[in-house]
Amino acid sequence: MTFSIPFDNSYARMPARFYTRIDPKPVAAPRLIRFNRALAADLGITPGDDDEMARAFSGNAVPEGAEPLAQAYAGHQFGGFSPQLGDGRANLLGEAVANGKRFDIQLKGSGPTPYSRMGDGRAWLGPVLREYVLSEAMHALGIPTSRALAAVTTGEPVWREQGALPGAVLTRVAASHIRVGTFQFFAARRDVEGLKALYDYTVARHYPDASDAADLLQAVVERQARLVAQWMAVGFIHGVMNTDNTTLSGETIDYGPCAFMDSYHPDTVYSSIDAHGRYAYSSQPDVIVWNMAQLATALVPLMPDAEVAVERFTRIVHAMPALIREEWLTLFRRKIGLGTAQDGDEALIGDLLTRMAENRADFTNTFRALATGGPARDQFLNPAAFDEWETAWRTRLKAEEDPQARMRAANPAFIPRNHRVEQMIAAAVEGDFAPFNRLLEVLSNPYDDQPDAADLARPPAPSEVVKQTFCGT
């Protein structure tokens, strides 16, 4: 059987101003690090031999049926609007259609494009493996996300602050790469025809039931509300919630300086470029509402009456915080074993989180210990702070049936801990991919107890703590 991807490209049929057709730039010596066979099967891909796939997933050989292009978009970056962004280091090869589903297949780190601005269009091995592990972990946690299909090294150095680093390319799969910033791109140019074409495309691809732009907005708001609540429930901090990194599909996308928290604190920020904590853990629900307001603004020209549009859109966006709160509460109820709703639940959860923050409790391990009956109190600097809460919690639990099973399904034992990710990258740079492969194996079943992987569940020792994460640029 020969290597093949069932391409059926629709974005390449959009008007020319939506993208620039450009082939990936070949690299010196592509070598396959990993290929995601399970995902490939879902996508209807027939695998080839390693060399063939290394050539395809580095961009050295454009696979049959691909029509590579770089997408144009705009976006608010840290609140400031850039009317012209776009894939500066990515090529959309096309869309694979299988089992009635359509997925973008995109190379990331595959060379400069007209949207590269000052960048080199490349990625080094660290961010490529980071995105591979984090996006696959996110998927295994049950959270909508782009996926990783393949990673290759290029055999070429990439120059970054640290010096020369091994270059790599990630093949990313997503329901689509349509961003809030894609709508902003056309709205900023008052290109209503382009906006309409993008709207029709998005509705057909993601929201076939939407009958107007208000419907589309409502549907995206619902998916994003749920997504951000899910991030909160696993302690995930995206790190760069710019509107160009917010999808219409409701999938997590653009893993840059993102991170999962170790010890819990609502103000946690890891990203080196987020100096003011705009995208701190606890700010994410506010930021996504702001991003949806930007989407709403871009959608106004699609409605026949601007005044009516603004009135309807405002109502939808204003209702979003309550929607997030509801999703959040459902998820956090589950995390403490509650399947029913009572009035005091939110206060009970809030009380636990306050005590965790004050006592630097490990987010993942505290909740997991509730599920397994482990010593949750040991996670707290002052264990008595937990004991007081536990009394109230045990009383509330009496109204619940099998809370343990509910908590086991809601509270992962394993997350991609920053220090393990950094150690994995350091090993890979030295040519040892065993930690990368092991992380992927363990994180593919995050809700299972895996006694052999206890080391991956441990929080970092003081000397291992990662204080900052960096984007791949």
Q: Tell me how far apart the alpha carbons of residues 434 and 364 are, in angstroms, rounded to a whole number.
A: 24
Contact assessment for residue 103 and residue 132, using Cβ atoms and an 8 Å cutoff:
no
For the chain, helix, strand, coil in percent to 5 are 45, 20, 35
Which among 40-48, 111-119, 263-271, 333-341 is the span making contact with ligand AMP, rule CB under 6 A?
111-119
Pick what 273 binds: ligand AMP, Mg ion, none; C-beta below 5 to 8 Å, kind-dependent.
none
Question: E strands within 318-450?
Answer: none
Query: Which residue lies nearest ligand AMP, judged by its C-beta?
Result: 119
Q: Is 120 in the site for ligand AMP (CB under 6 A)?
A: yes
C-alpha to C-alpha distances, 54 to 58, 149, 168, 439, nearest whole angstrom: 6, 12, 11, 22
| Shortest CB 28 distance to ligand AMP, Å | 18
> How far from chain centre, in Å, is Cα 118?
25
Q: Quick check: 194 binds ligand AMP (CB under 6 A)?
A: no
Contact yes or no for 339/250 (Cβ under 8 A): no
Do residues 138 and 260 lie in contact, with contact meaning Cβ atoms separated by under 8 Å?
Answer: no
Query: Judged by CB under 6 A, which stretch of 32-40, 86-94, 312-320, 328-336 contacts ligand AMP?
Result: 86-94
Decide whether 254 or 327 has the Cβ nearer to Mg ion: 254
- Nearer to ligand AMP (CB atom), residue 244 or residue 274: 244
Place of tokens 């290029």: 154
Nearer to Mg ion, 247 or 379 (CB): 247
Could you tell me which stretch among 22-30, 251-259, 280-288, 452-460 binds Mg ion (CB under 5 A)? Answer: 251-259
Q: How far apart are CA 93 and CA 19, in angstroms?
A: 12
User: Which listed range, 79-87, 141-149, 191-199, 292-300, lies at the site for ligand AMP (CB under 6 A)?
Assistant: 79-87
> What DSSP character marks residue 460?
P
Look-up of token digits 């998005």 = 202
HSE toward the beta carbon, residue 329, CA cutoff 13 A: 15
Q: What are φ and ψ of residue 309, in 5° steps? A: -60, -50
* b/e 294-306 (16+ beta carbons within 10 angstroms → b): bbbbbbbbbbeee
Positions annotated as catalytic residues are: 244
Q: Does 119 bind ligand AMP (CB under 6 A)?
A: yes
Our CB check for ligand AMP shows the closer of 67 and 254 to be 254
Phi first, then psi, for residue 16 (nearest 5°) are -55, -30
Q: Which does 55 bind (CB under 5 to 8 A by kind): Mg ion, ligand AMP, none?
A: none
Query: Site map for ligand AMP, 238-277, x if CB under 6 A?
Result: --x---xx--------x-x---------------------
Taking the C-alpha atoms of residue 24 and residue 19, their distance in angstroms, rounded to an integer, is 14
Name the token pair of 412. Answer: 């992962």
Beta carbons within 10 angstroms of residue 368's beta carbon: 26
**Position 251 contacts Mg ion (CB under 5 A):** no
Name residue 424's amino acid.
M
Provide the mask over 28-67, with x wherever binding to ligand AMP is found by CB under 6 A and - wherever it is not. Answer: ----------------------------------------
Q: Given the rule CB under 6 A, which of 43-51, 114-122, 258-266, 357-365 is the region that contacts ligand AMP?
A: 114-122
By CB under 5 A, tell whether 254 contacts Mg ion: yes
Q: Is 85 in the site for ligand AMP (CB under 6 A)?
A: yes
Among 36, 62, 87, 291, binds ligand AMP (CB under 6 A): 87
Binding site for ligand AMP (CB under 6 A): 85-89, 115-116, 119-122, 240, 244-245, 254, 256, 471, 473
**Chain positions contacting Mg ion, by CB under 5 A:** 245, 254
